[in-house]
Structure 1
Amino acid sequence: MSLIPWVVFAVIDRAAPSPQWAAASAAVAALVIAWPSLVARSPLSLDLLAIGLFVVMAVAAFLAGPHGRQIIADYGRTMATGALALFVLLTLPFAPFTTQYARRVVPRELWGTERFRRTNVVFSAVWGVAFAFMTVCHLIAAGDPGDRRLSTVCNWLLPIAAVIAVLRFMDRYRQRQTAEPGAPHRPD
């Protein structure tokens, strides 16, 4: 759910190239998604990033003149995905972002295990690399915003393929983990 604001931004930006409304819509989506955890006073770090990032992008786009809005329109996906990649990779050594999600499905007694920590480091690192790859793809597409084929490949096909590759990797990794001798048959 926490990645939905990035999807909202991309879809609205593509449908009507108005970066201020795309960013504002993504900020609203992030707030709606985060609301239950905010009320419970246990917000997810990725949700907080999404709210902050898209509010800043929306304000910048609303305040910028036509030239500034054009830069955000051309490079907004690069900025948004780049911020996501940086966040995931920079927090990896001390707080892998997947840990917060894993704790929702993994029994508490396993949270302190090396296997739990290692799995979340691996999963967060793979997501970080995928987000970095997507950032490069978006940057390539931004280099020629009028090229529809390039935009389709770099803004949609390659990022979707990266997400599918990460999900498949995670599934295979989990299967290998549960196949290890003595491994509990619980998800990491």
Structure 2
Amino acid sequence: MIRSLLGFLPWIAYAVIATSDNWRYGAIAGLAIAVAVTLADRRAGKKWDEMVIESSAVGFFAVITLISFVDPDSPLVRYGPALVNAWLALTTWGSLAVRKPFTLGIARGMAPPEVWDTPLFYRVNAVISTVWGAAFTIAAVTLAILLHGSPHATVAVVTIKVASFVIPGVFTARYPKAVAARHAS
């Protein structure tokens, strides 16, 4: 589980480092960490379906790094935290749209192979991915509105960002156990 959370490290680094004055550094740090995590995971034998968030991070940070150098005063700077959540929401909803919830590959690394192809295993991961997608979407919209009206509301931004990871993270840890207990009876 801890290893799976490393996929979020580039996003966290960007959130911490990227302020309106040094978003370039946040973008570069996010890209460097995303590439390093992706390469390390591939060398460790991870399959691409286990690395949806990591792969998505490489794409996002490549684009943001490019924008930060081509147009350092881009109006996007102001909306960095919302853009992160919007990108993660798109990644999540996209994985669900193609019927490959982003949590599926991660869950396969933690579950016995005999359950991988069961409808229940898929359903649990679809629900978990939906919760992540909803959290990212709500955070993206909330942050965009907040940053538009109050660009210096740092405490609120941090609170929303943390909640958008913690709430679905807690759900991810608890939901499969609840489903397993319900189906064990």
TM-score range, shorter chain: 0.7 to 0.9
Equivalent residues of 1:145, 1:151 under 8 A apart: no
- For residue 50 of structure 1, what is the aligned residue in structure 2? 57
> What SS class does the counterpart of residue 106 from structure 1 fall into?
coil
- For residue 67 of structure 1, what is the aligned residue in structure 2? 73
Q: Distance in 2 between matches of 1:130 and 1:141?
A: 16
Matched, 1:101 2:143: no
Deviation of 1:11 (Å): 0.2
42-51 or 163-172: which moved more?
Answer: 163-172
Q: Distance in 2 between matches of 1:113 and 1:81?
A: 31
Judged with a 3 Å threshold, the aligned counterparts in structure 2 of structure 1 residues 146 and 56 are, in CA distance, closer, same or farther, namely: closer
- For residue 3 of structure 1, what is the aligned residue in structure 2? 8
Q: TM-score normalised to the size of structure 2?
A: 0.85
- For residue 186 of structure 1, what is the aligned residue in structure 2? none
Equivalent residues of 2:81, 2:143 under 8 A apart: yes
Matched, 1:34 2:30: no
> C-alpha offsets along residues 147-171 of structure 1, whole Å, 9 cap, x if unaligned?
3xx3311x21123223332233334
Equivalent residues of 1:23, 1:58 under 8 A apart: yes
Q: Structure 1: which 5+ runs fail to align?
A: 184-188
Q: 1:123 aligns with which of 119, 122, 128?
A: 128
**Root mean square deviation of aligned Cα:** 2.0
Percent of paired sites with the same residue: 26
Deviation of 1:145 (Å): 5.0
**Which structure has the greater CA radius of gyration?**
1
Judged with a 3 Å threshold, the aligned counterparts in structure 2 of structure 1 residues 82 and 120 are, in CA distance, closer, same or farther, namely: same
Q: Given residue 100 of structure 2, which amino acid in structure 1 is its aligned partner?
A: A
Equivalent residues of 1:74, 1:142 under 8 A apart: yes
- For residue 21 of structure 1, what is the aligned residue in structure 2? 25
Q: Distance in 1 between matches of 2:108 and 2:62?
A: 28
Equivalent residues of 1:18, 1:73 under 8 A apart: no
Equivalent residues of 1:123, 1:170 under 8 A apart: yes
- For residue 79 of structure 1, what is the aligned residue in structure 2? 83
> What SS class does the counterpart of residue 67 from structure 1 fall into?
coil
Judged with a 3 Å threshold, the aligned counterparts in structure 2 of structure 1 residues 151 and 111 are, in CA distance, closer, same or farther, namely: same
Equivalent residues of 2:78, 2:151 under 8 A apart: no
